[in-house]
Amino acid sequence: MSDNSIKIAILSRNKSLYSTKRLVEAIENKGHECVILDHLKCDIVIEQDKPAIFYHGQKLTDIDAVIPRIGASVTFYGAAVVRQFEMMGIPTAVESQALVRSRDKLRSLQILARSNVGMPKTVFTNYSKEVKQIIDSVGGAPLIIKLLEGTQGYGVVLAPTRKAAESIIEAFHSMKARVIVQEFIEEAKGADIRAFIVGNKVVGAMKRQGKEGEFRSNLHQGGTGTLIKLSKEEREVALTAARAMRLSIAGVDMLQSERGPLVLEVNSSPGLEGIEKSTNRDIATQVINFVEKMVFEEKNRKKRKKPQSGS
């Protein structure tokens, strides 16, 4: 290893996942050392001025940077591990607060609305009985109903008629399941755009098209991804959304509508497989380039803070 090599930890529960394997490959190709840590097996030691993390009984040392790949179902503990690395002065590609913020769908939508990016009309209530008013607020049926805890297209329902919408909303409310009701953008024709952002730059974009008869465009739901060139407005909206969420690495999902690009979601742990295969670009290396820059900037900052001898 060269003098400029660094040790990067990937927080991932499955080393055989495409995204994890590609990041490992990119790290090693650049001459750096890589370690994969299952964040659920990290023990956090909280002590004044001595924050530490133990992994399989061994104290973690000499790590220069962390790339979190935290699944939505373990956000609470995963974010706590990321936060502990931050307390240890180790830079992370995704900040703990940004990770938590991005996983709260309601909070995310409020932040995006405040940032003046276009969004589909959305309603969230505390199990309100005013179902007809909710439906009217998003322009009537057809409309989309989403579980707040859903991911990868699961827990997303298209209600084609008012009657269906009323029945679905009332059924979710009776189960105490929290949902958001959202305007259906018909002209999107079951497609959306994923813009992949690293640093302050869009490094790749794909159009995801749902399979025939399917309104969800998620690749996990059988959708297909193809390379797309973003318009200037789409690029600016994607960057504005990522900045609003304070995410340095993000997947911004947008719909193409008659009133311009509309942001659906900002993903803090976007997968690499779909975007790399659709664009034929080495996105993993772009991520590692960003991490390198982040580490060296942190090292220079610490040098500047260090008191000079003899002064």
Return the CATH fold of 7-94+285-296. Rossmann fold (3.40.50)
Q: What is the DSSP string of the chain?
A: --TT--EEEEE-S-TTSHHHHHHHHHHHHTT-EEEEE-GGGEEEE--TT--EEEETTEE--S--EEEE---GGGHHHHHHHHHHHHHTT--BSS-HHHHHHHH-HHHHHHHHHHTT-----EEE-SS-S-HHHHHHHTTSSSEEEEETT--TTTTEEEE-SHHHHHHHHHHHHHTT--EEEEE--GGGTTEEEEEEEETTEEEEEEEEEPPTT-----GGGT-EEEE-PPPHHHHHHHHHHHHHTT-SEEEEEEEEETTEEEEEEEESS--SHHHHHHHT--HHHHHHHHHHHHHHHHHHHHHHHSPPTT-
Q: pLDDT at residue 224 above 80?
A: no
Q: pLDDT at residue 261 above 80?
A: yes
In the chain, domain spans: 7-94+285-296, 122-184, 187-268
Architecture of domain 187-268: 2-Layer Sandwich (3.30)
Compute the distance between CA of residue 141 and CA of residue 162 in angstroms, rounded to an integer: 5
Q: What is the mean pLDDT of residues 248-275?
A: 95
What amino acid is encoded at 26 in this protein?
Answer: A
Range in 44-48, 241-245, 282-286 with the lowest mean pLDDT: 44-48
What amino acid is encoded at 46 in this protein?
Answer: I
Q: What is the mean pLDDT of residues 58-85?
A: 96
Q: pLDDT at residue 309 above 60?
A: no
Tell me which of 212 and 293 has the higher pLDDT.
Answer: 293
Q: What is the mean pLDDT of residues 241-254?
A: 97
Say what the pLDDT of residue 1 is: 47
pLDDT per position as a tens digit, 113-141: 999 999 999 999 888 889 999 999 999 99
pLDDT per position as a tens digit, 179-222: 899 999 998 888 899 999 999 999 999 999 876 655 555 555 55
Return the CATH fold of 122-184. Dna Ligase; domain 1 (3.30.1490)
Rounded (5°) CA angle 144-243-34: 100
Q: Nearest to residue 288, comparing CAs of 2, 80, 76, 22?
A: 22
Say what the pLDDT of residue 311 is: 44
pTM: predicted TM-score of the whole model, two decimal places: 0.89
Q: pLDDT at residue 310 above 60?
A: no
